[in-house]
Structure formats: C-alpha cells, structure tokens
Amino acid sequence: MINFNYETDFALKDEDALSKWIVDCIRTEEYSLEEINYIFCDDEYLYKLNIEFLNHDTLTDIISFDYSVGKTIQGDIFISVERVKENATDFKVSFFEELHRVIIHGVLHYCGYKDKTPEDALLMREKENFYLKRLA
C-alpha cells in the first residue's frame, strides 16, 4: 500500500498513477511492497527531522526511514516540497521531474541502492532515469 500525506499546502495530481508506477518499480527490482508512507512537507519540518533523527544540521530534499524486512519494503519517506522546487530550478528541470526523481530515489534506497560513493551515485542516477522514462 502506498499512502500520500501532506503536511504543507501541496497535493499530488494523480496519486493512483504514481502508486502504480512505484509498485511497478518495486516489482521490477524483485521486491514486494508492504507499505510506504510519503509525507510531503516544508523545509522547516524536514530540517527538524534531520536534526532529531540523523543529527544533520542541513536542509535536505528527502529523508527515508526504512522498516523493510528482507525483500519486503516498508518505510516512511519525507519530502520537502520547497527543496524539490529549488533543486528543480538549480538543475534546470521541471518541478514534477525532480519530484518524481526524489519519489523513486527513496524507493531505490529501500531496494538496496546507495549513493555515498561516486560509483554508487552513478548507478542510482541510472536507475532513477530508467524509472522516470517508464513514468512518461
């Protein structure tokens, strides 16, 4: 089950289509879905989580809490809509392209992909691009 929650003045346009896309990604990666909760919020909300749970004194676009067991995915993904908007401008892409990238980025972490090394980040970006094309 995919749940979309809003802690800021924002709402997705087509939750059903996005849910199907996310589930397709999970199945393609040979995982199963228990539950993912997406929480869309502002910078302040996500900053507080970053300090409290990760001890990071920085703004970020996404924080994911992974409760998965084996190949069954479960977790909470917090996304700062403000940060996504700013990043879209910085990267010269549409807001929705950047938002979809961040949405699937969290899922890919649950599927075992990392992004701390240059090699891992490159593979993560390739996977993001692969799934973004499947959404279009």
The residues spanned by each domain of the chain are: 2-135
Note the pTM of the prediction, 2 decimals.
0.92
SS (H, E, C) the chain: CEEEEECCCCCCCCHHHHHHHHHHHHHHCCCEEEEEEEEEECHHHHHHHHHHHHCCCCCCCEEEEECCECCEEEEEEEEEHHHHHHHHHHHCCCHHHHHHHHHHHHHHHHCCCCCCCHHHHHHHHHHHHHHHHHHC
Q: Is 56 annotated as a binding residue?
A: no
Query: Along the chain (136 residues), what's the average pLDDT of each consecutive run of 10 residues?
Result: 95 94 97 98 93 84 94 97 96 95 96 94 96 90
Please tell me whether 100 is known to bind a ligand: no
pLDDT of residue 57: 87
Q: Is 109 annotated as a binding residue?
A: yes
Output the pLDDT for position 55: 79
Look up the CATH number of domain 2-135.
3.40.390.30
